[in-house]
Structure 1
C-alpha cells in the first residue's frame, strides 16, 4: 500500500472518528427522561411511571428474559447478530434484490442494531433515512457490547399503544414476567414490533396469531416440529392493558427517593401485599366516611418491609387516598408504654410484679385518668401494661423522668415530635407527642430482636441501621407480658398468648383521632393505624376494638409459622417477691409478706416498691401494741406493757383500696383509749352523712335513693370513689350528689391529694 493511500485512509478514519464524536448516537443517558417501574422482590411490577411522552416501559436485563424469546428474536430478526458490525451487507443486498424484482419491500434488511438505531433516532423510511440508520448502527457497535445493544432492544422495542419493551408487553398483555414466556408467547412478542398497532393481541387476536405462526414456522428447526405444533395450538388471549397498581403509595415514595433509577427493586412481597390490601378493603364497608387505614409488615431478621399500605383505598379520594399514613406523624396514644416499662427495668426501678397504684393521683397538677374511667387499686407492672392503665404508667414515668425517657427513645431510633417550644412532660406517655407508624414498627421490632431496634428497609441495597433500644432481658420481659400477661397470668390462664405467639399493644389518641395496634411474632413486626388523616375525631374508635382485630387478622394471613420455644436471656430469672415491699420473699419475715407473687427480675435485682408519693417514712416500720388488748399505743400513753411489731406499709394512696382481709394484717389496729389523740397517717378526713354499715332503703317503686356525699377535713380537692370507680371530684368542704339505682353493697371512699382518706361501707335495698 502506497504512502499516499495510507495517509488517505488515516485521514478518512480520523474524519469518521471526529464526526462520530461531533454527532454521537442519542443513547439514553442517566439524566434523560425515562419511564420508571417499581418492582416487588420477585420482579412483580408494583407501579409503573411513564416517561415524559407517557410511554410505559419496564427496563429489563437479558438474563431476566426467557431464553425462548431471545432464540426466537435473533433467529427471526437477525440470525447473524452476534457476528456483524451493525450492518449486514448480505441482508441489505437480498432486500434490495427483492425490492428490484417485486417492486415492493419484501424484507427490510435491518439488523437488530439498526432497529435499535431507528428506535433511538427515528428516521423516515427513505434511502437517506436508511443510510442514516446504518451509520447510527455502526456507531452503536463501536460504543456498546452486543449484550448492551440487545438490552436496549429488549427495553425499547415498540409493543403497541404506550407499551415499549418485552417486559412491559408481557406484563400488560399476558400478565406474567418475560422470564416465563412459553414458545407461543415468545413468538408473539417477537413479531409484535414489526407492526405494533396492527398486531396488538388485545385488539386483533387473529392477526396476531397469524403473525405468531410465521415465527413459529421459522423456529421449527430450533425447537423441533412437535414443540412448534403444540405452540400453534395455543390460543392468543391477551388481557386488557392496565396500569399495575399494587402498593401505590409505597411505589410513589420509592420513585421519589430514587428518581434516577429506571428500575427500583424493593423488598416488598407481592403476595403478602395483596393479602394486606384485601384485608383493608374488606373493612371499608363498616368504616364511616373519610376514615382511612394503614398497615406495615417488616421482617424481623432483615428489617425488610414485606407489605406497605399507606391508605385504605387508593381509588377513594374521600378517604384521603393519597395521604400516606405510614409516614404521617400522629399521637401514638398508649403505644409507648412498653418502652417505658422496658427502660424502667433497665434502670432498676421495677420488676415485672412491682406494686403500682392505679388510683386517682395528682402529679404536680396533672391528673391522668384511665380509658375505662375507673381504677383498680393495687396493680402489678404486668397488669398495668396488659390493661394499658394510665395512672401507673405516669407514676413510673414520673420516677424515670419524661425528658430522660424521650432522650432514650431517640437514642433507640424512635423520634417524638413535640409541640413547638414544648419540653417533654408526663403527658408524653399518654400520647402527648407525635410519631409515625413507620417509626413505631421499627422500634417495636426490638422486642423480637433482643432489644435492638432498626429502621425499616425498603430496598435490598439499603443499609441495616440498628440501635439498641433496651437490654435483651428487658425486651424479653416486656414481650412476655404483652404476649401472655407475665408469669402469674401464664400460670393462671395457661399462657393463651404464648400459644398464639403474638405480643402486641394498642393505643388510642385523645379524642379518638387515632387507633393503633403494633405487635411482634418470632418472624414479623406488624403495625396498623385507623383514623381520619385530617385529624377529625371518630367517637367509639379505639385501638382495642378497631385496630387490634385488624392486626390479628394481618398476622393470621401473613405469618402462619407456629411460635418457637423462647428461652430467657442471660440475666432474666424468676423470683418470689412480696407486696407491699416489692422485694424477694426469702429475705422477709412472713408478717411483712402480705401477698406473694412470682416475678421476672433482671440481673438478680428485685427493686423495692417505688417510694410513697403522699407520705414520708420508711416502708418498714415498728409499731407498738398493748400486750393485753392488742390496741395501738405509743410511749407516754401506754397503760401497761408494750410489744413491738414490725410492719410493712402500703403506699398511702392504696390503703383505701385494700380488701378487708388485707386490711386486717396490713393496717395497724385502732388506738388504745389512752392514746386516742395520737396522730395517725390516715387521720384528718372523715365522711359525714352516712356511716359504716348503714342500710339505705328505697321508697317502694319511687326514684333511686340519692345520697349527699360529704366529708370533713382534707385539703384542696376531694376524690370520691364508689366500689373503686371514680365518680367525682369536688373542692374540700363541698358535697357531691350521687344516685344508687341498683340494690347491693357499696364502699364509698373519699381521699385528698395528700393521701388522707376515709371509707365507709353501706348497703342499698
Structure 2
C-alpha cells in the first residue's frame, strides 16, 4: 500500500508522463525522418521495369520478341498466366511467410543469425525474403556482407510500402535470373521448355525454382548434371514439407534435364521488324496474324527451300477478303537464310505480275457486256500497231471461247480484250482497288500491261484479288503495322456480276498435278524471262498469293506459275487449316447461256471475216460523248406510258454500231453516230456501244422521270 502511494505521488506521475511524451515525440521524429528518407531515396522500381518488346498475334499469342537494350530476354508476365503450382512451390521453398510478413521475416533472420554464429561468421543462408531478393535484383551488388543485407532489408521495407504482394511477386518473376541472358520465368520457360509457363510439369517447376539461386552454375545447357541435382533438392524439400506425395516426387526425379536451349519465338520476322520500326516506344505490338497459320506457312516455305534452285526465294501472303486483315505473311524461305537473301521481305517487292492481271481485263469486258464467257475469240497471230504478243508455249489455238482463253491464260485474246476496254481504264479500275501499277518511266500505259508489262507487289496483288471474294469490292490490307482505320475504297473494282463471272471461270481450272483437290479459284503468271512465278487463289473469303523467284530479279530457267507457284498455293491453303468458305452466290440478273443462245453480236468477238491478223491502226475506238459518265438524265414521261427516248451521241469507231443496255444487246445495229434508246424505267443504267471491230465504250448514267 505504501509502495502504491509512492507511485501515485504527484512528482512520480509527472516524471512518468514527461518520459512518455518524450518517447512519443522521439518516435514521431524518427518515423518522420524515416518517411522523409524513404521519399528522398525511393527504390529504383521504374528503372527495373525495362522489358523486351513483344509482337503478338490477334489472340495475344507471342510471335516474336526482342531483347532489351542490354541484351536480356525479359518478357512481361502476369501471375494468372503462370502455373499456380509453380508459384506455390516457389513460395514454399523461398519464403513460406511471404504473404504475412512486411518485407522482412524475423524468424528467418534469427535462423540465419544462428547459422552465422555456428559457422564462425560465414554466411550460410541469408534469411532473405522474396521482397529482399527483389531489392537485390533492382540494385545488383556483388558483395555478400552484413551491410549489404541491411541495405536489402531497408529496400524491402520500402518496396512493401509501395507494392502489393502480387505486384512484388510479379516483378520478382520478371527479373529473376535463369541462366545466360534469360531473366524472368516466362523467358526461362520458353528457352528451356519451348512453351509458355501457363502449364508446367512438377519437374519443370522444380527446375525453375532452383535456377535463380545459382543461375550460371546450374545452366541446363552447360551443366545439366548440376541443374538436375538442384532440381531434385527442391523436390526433396517439397517431400519433407509434406506438400507433394512421394510417388509424384519419385516420378519427377526420374526425368532427365534437357541440355537444349530453345530459340525464342521468331515468327513473322519481317512484319515484326516493320511494326517495331513504326512504333519504337511501344512495348507490346499486336498484329492481325494468326500464330498457328503463320507457323504452318513458314514451315512450308522452309521445307520448299530445299527443292528450289540456289538463291531462289519465295513469299506468301494470306488475307481475309471480307475484312482485309492479313492472316499470315511469309517474306522469304527463312529470315536468317542469307544464301537466299532471306532478310528481304519479298511480299512488298515490285515485280512483273505476268498474266495475273488478266482476270481484271476479262472482268471489264464482261462488265461492258461486249462478251460472254461463251463468246468465241481468235487466238491467232496478231499485230497491234507493232506489238505482237505470243502465248507462253509460242503456239496458237485458233478460235476458242473466252472461258477457255482465260483458263488457258492465252495472251492474244487478253490483248484483244484490253484493246477494246482500254489500258487506261484498266489502270483506273486497279486504282479503285487502292493499287497503282509501276509503269516504265515516261511511258503511257500500253497493251503490254495486260501481260506483265508493269510492276506490282504480292501484297498489292492479293489486295486486288480480295475483290473476287467480296462481290467486286477490294479491301485495303492491314496487318497491324500501321493504322488503316480511315482507308476506304469508295468504288468497286468490278461490278458484282462481272466479278462473279470471272470467279466462276477461274474456279473451274484444275488443280496442278499432284496437288490436293480443294475448292479454290486461282490464276497463275510467269514474267518475261522466267524471273517471277506467281499464283493467286481464293475461296469465298480467303485470298492467298504466292511468288517465287530471285530477289535480285535475275532469270530462273524452268520456273513458271503453274509448275512452281501453283502447287505451293494449294499446299498453302491446306496447311493454313482454315475452314473453306463457299464461293459467292450468283448475283440476280445473270443469265447463263450456251453459245447457241447468245445474241448474234455476242457470238464472236473481233473483226468480221479477214485473215485474223488484226491491226489497231485506222479509225479510233468509239467514244460516247453524250451522256457523259455519271450523268443524271431527266426524261419526260409519255402520255401513253413509258419514258421518252435518250439520244446517245458517238465519236470514232467503225460502224455499224450496236447498243448494249444493261447487258441486253439491241436487235439491230446502226450505222449512224446517234442512237435512240428508250429505257424501261428510271434508275441506274450501263450503256455500252460496240463497233464492228469489237471495240467498245461504256458509261454509267442515272435516269430520272419528269412527271410534269
1:451 aligned residue (457, 472, 476) = 472
Between 1 and 2, higher relative CO (CA 8 Å, sep ≥ 6) is seen in 2
Deviations 1:7-43 (A, max 9, x none): 766666665555445444333569x864334456677
1:276 and 2:293 matched = no
- The Cα shift of 1:268 comes to 4.3
* Counterpart Cα distance in 2 of 1:27 and 1:277: 40
Q: Corresponding residue for 2:655?
A: 616
- The Cα shift of 1:191 comes to 1.5
Q: Corresponding residue for 2:570?
A: 552
The 5 Å alignment of 1:576-587 reads 576=594, 577-578=597-598, 580-582=600-602
Note if contact 1:216-1:232 (Cα within 8 Å) is conserved in structure 2: yes
Q: 1:526 to 1:175 in 2, by over 3 A?
A: same
* Counterpart Cα distance in 1 of 2:668 and 2:287: 64
Note if contact 2:314-2:346 (Cα within 8 Å) is conserved in structure 1: yes
1:324 and 2:363 matched = no
Q: Corresponding residue for 1:533?
A: 551
* Counterpart Cα distance in 1 of 2:32 and 2:587: 74
1:417 and 2:456 matched = no
The alignment partner of 1:510 has SS state of coil
Range moving further from structure 2, 321-330 or 34-43: 34-43
- The Cα shift of 1:366 comes to 4.2
Q: 1:563 to 1:455 in 2, by over 3 A?
A: closer
Deviations 1:21-68 (A, max 9, x none): 5444333569x8643344566777544432232222333222221111
* Counterpart Cα distance in 1 of 2:218 and 2:574: 46
- The Cα shift of 1:526 comes to 1.5
Q: 1:8 to 1:303 in 2, by over 3 A?
A: farther
Gaps in structure 1 of 5+ consecutive residues? 585-610, 623-648, 655-765
* Counterpart Cα distance in 2 of 1:294 and 1:565: 25
* Counterpart Cα distance in 1 of 2:197 and 2:235: 18
Q: 1:523 to 1:618 in 2, by over 3 A?
A: closer
Q: Corresponding residue for 1:177?
A: 196
Q: Corresponding residue for 2:147?
A: 128
* Counterpart Cα distance in 2 of 1:399 and 1:333: 20
Note if contact 1:612-1:651 (Cα within 8 Å) is conserved in structure 2: no
* Counterpart Cα distance in 2 of 1:39 and 1:94: 46
Q: Corresponding residue for 2:223?
A: 204
The 5 Å alignment of 1:581-596 reads 581-582=601-602
Q: Corresponding residue for 1:478?
A: 502
Q: 1:145 to 1:269 in 2, by over 3 A?
A: same
Q: Corresponding residue for 2:96?
A: 79
Q: Corresponding residue for 1:52?
A: 69
- The Cα shift of 1:282 comes to 3.9
1:88 and 2:105 matched = yes
Q: Corresponding residue for 2:411?
A: 390
Note if contact 1:310-1:325 (Cα within 8 Å) is conserved in structure 2: yes
Note if contact 1:501-1:522 (Cα within 8 Å) is conserved in structure 2: no
Range moving further from structure 2, 423-432 or 169-178: 423-432
The 5 Å alignment of 1:344-743 reads 344-363=365-384, 365-459=386-480, 467=489, 468-484=492-508, 500-522=518-540, 524-559=542-577, 564=582, 567-576=585-594, 577-578=597-598, 580-582=600-602, 615-618=654-657
The alignment partner of 1:327 has SS state of coil
Deviations 1:472-514 (A, max 9, x none): 43332221111116xxx9xxx9xx9996301111112222221
- The Cα shift of 1:215 comes to 2.3
* Counterpart Cα distance in 2 of 1:288 and 1:146: 59
Q: 1:447 to 1:208 in 2, by over 3 A?
A: same
Note if contact 1:497-1:503 (Cα within 8 Å) is conserved in structure 2: no
* Counterpart Cα distance in 2 of 1:425 and 1:24: 72
Q: Corresponding residue for 2:82?
A: 65
Answer 1 or 2: which has greater strand percent. Answer: 1
Deviations 1:396-417 (A, max 9, x none): 3334443343233233233433
Deviations 1:725-744 (A, max 9, x none): xxxxxxxxxxxxxxxxxxxx
Note if contact 1:296-1:438 (Cα within 8 Å) is conserved in structure 2: yes
* Counterpart Cα distance in 2 of 1:387 and 1:24: 75
The alignment partner of 1:512 has SS state of coil
The alignment partner of 1:382 has SS state of helix
Deviations 1:519-543 (A, max 9, x none): 1134532211111111112233221
Gaps in structure 2 of 5+ consecutive residues? 1-16, 605-649, 659-666, 670-689, 696-708
Q: 1:561 to 1:94 in 2, by over 3 A?
A: same
Q: Corresponding residue for 2:167?
A: 148
Deviations 1:325-372 (A, max 9, x none): 112222222212223333444455544334544444444554433333
The alignment partner of 2:243 has SS state of helix
1:163 and 2:202 matched = no
RMSD: 3.9
Q: TM-score, normalised by structure 2?
A: 0.73
Note if contact 1:291-1:533 (Cα within 8 Å) is conserved in structure 2: yes
Count of equivalent residues: 594
Q: TM-score, normalised by structure 1?
A: 0.68
Deviations 1:666-724 (A, max 9, x none): xxxxxxxxxxxxxxxxxxxxxxxxxxxxxxxxxxxxxxxxxxxxxxxxxxxxxxxxxxx
* Counterpart Cα distance in 2 of 1:504 and 1:612: 39
Q: 1:237 to 1:291 in 2, by over 3 A?
A: closer
Q: 1:339 to 1:67 in 2, by over 3 A?
A: farther
